[in-house]
Amino acid sequence: MSSSDTFSRDILPTKEGKLPFTYQGETYETYYKVVGNLDSTAGVPLVTLHGGPGSAHHYLLALSDLVSPSPSSSSSETGTNAVIFYDQLGTGNSSHPRDSKAPSFWTPELFMEELANLLAGLGVSKKYDLLGHSWGGMLAAQFASAFHNKQLLAGLRKLILSSAPASMALFEQGCAKLVKELPADVQETLRRHEEDGTTDSKEYEEAVGVFYERHLCRVKPFPRDLVRSFECIGEDPTVYHTMNGPSEFHITGSLRTWSIIPSIPAISVPTLLLSGAHDEVQEECIQPFFDGIMKAGVKWAVFAESSHVAHLEERERYIRIVRAFLGGN
C-alpha cells in the first residue's frame, strides 16, 4: 500500500476517554478513541460502529487511514478530519453490566441511545457521517431510519453499511448455504456440537475456524486487531450470547427476529454499501438496502478478494472507495 493512499494512525493526533451514559436510571461509561483533529471545522467526523455484537473497536482501527492530513483540500478523496471509534456497552473498555441485567436490557434501542449520547458528548451531533460494520451496520441502519431524536438525526450526512445484513433471517439462510459448501466432516462436527449444546468445545471452535477462514477473514494469519476484538467476546460473552447466541449460524438470541426491511425507505441520506464476494453476509442479505434506499442515493461496491472484513483484506481499495464517497457531493 502506497503512502499516497494511506496515512498511518501512529502519526495522527489521538484522543481517548470515557463518556458517562445514563440509561434506565443507571450511569455507565462508554470508551471512545478519536484519531485525527476533531476540533477542525474543515471536515466531517466519521463515527464507526463495531460488530459482534460485543467484538469491540480494535479490528476497525485500519479505518484511521481515512483521516486526511488536509481536510480542506479540494480533492474529491479527502476523507475525513477525524475517525471516532468506541466500544459499545458491555464490550472492551466500556462498562460491563454482565449478569446484573436481564436479557431484555440488551436491545438495539439501548445501543441507539448510547450512540446518541456519544454524538452529543463529543460535540459532533450537528454534522457527522456513520460507518457501521456487520452488527454495527445493522445498528447504524436502524438509527438512520427510526431514531426518535429528529434533531440529532438531522446531523447525519452520509451512511456507510459494511457487510451488514438487512435481516437476521436472510443472514441465517446465507450462512446455511455456505455451511453446506464446507467439507463433510466439518459440517458433521458443527451439527453434532450444536445439537448437543457443546458449542464451547475446542473441536467446535476449530470447525467454526474453517468457516471463518473462508467467510470472515481470508488474511492468514488473522490480523492482530481482529484477534483482539475476538478476545473481547471471549472475555465477556454477555452481549454476544444474549443478542446473537452461542452459534454463528443459528441465531437464538434477541436479534433472531430482527429486520430493518420495512424501515429501509425511511433512510434519507446518501448510502454506500460494501461487501465481500466471499462474505458470510451474502448479497441477498444486502439487496434490500440497495432496493430500498434508491431515492436517497445508494452505491454498492463488492470486493472480489474479500469476505467479511474487506477493510482488512483489501484495505487500500476499501479506503479509496470510502474516501471518495465521503469527499463527493
Residue 308 annotated among the catalytic residues of the structure: yes
Give CA–CA dist 93/101, Å, rounded.
18
Residue 148 annotated among the catalytic residues of the structure: no
Retrieve residue 46's grid coordinates.
466519521
- Active-site pick, 125, 134, 229, 254: 134
Under CATH, which number does the domain 9-169+255-327 receive? 3.40.50.1820
Q: What is the pLDDT along the chain (329 residues), one digit of tens a residue?
A: 333 334 445 578 899 999 999 999 999 999 999 999 988 667 899 999 999 999 999 999 999 999 976 544 444 455 689 999 999 999 999 999 987 788 899 999 999 999 999 999 999 999 999 999 999 999 999 999 988 877 788 899 999 999 999 999 999 999 999 999 999 999 999 999 988 989 889 999 999 999 999 999 999 999 999 999 999 999 999 999 999 998 888 899 999 999 999 999 999 999 999 999 999 999 999 999 999 997 779 999 999 999 999 999 999 999 999 999 998 76
What's the confidence (pLDDT) of residue 315?
97
Residue 278 annotated among the catalytic residues of the structure: no
- Active-site pick, 57, 215, 308, 311: 308
* DSSP characters over 30-96: EEEEEEE-TT-SSS--EEEE--TTT--SGGGGGGGGGB-S-TT---TT--BSEEEEEPPTTSTTS--
Bond before 53 cis per omega within 30 degrees: yes
What's the confidence (pLDDT) of residue 242?
95
Q: Determine whether 258 is exposed, middle or buried from the number of CB atoms within 10 Å of its CB (0-12, 13-18, 19+).
A: buried
Determine contact, residues 44/129, Cβ cutoff 8 Å: yes
What's the confidence (pLDDT) of residue 94?
98
What's the confidence (pLDDT) of residue 21?
98
Give CA–CA dist 263/228, Å, rounded.
34
Give CA–CA dist 70/77, Å, rounded.
11
Question: Taking the C-alpha atoms of 283, 246, 108 and 64 in order, what is their torsion angle to the nearest 10 degrees?
Answer: -60
What's the confidence (pLDDT) of residue 3?
32
- Active-site pick, 278, 279, 306, 307: 279
Q: Look at residues 307, 301, 297 and name the one whose alpha carbon lies nearest to residue 328.
A: 297
Domain spans of the chain, in order of start? 9-169+255-327
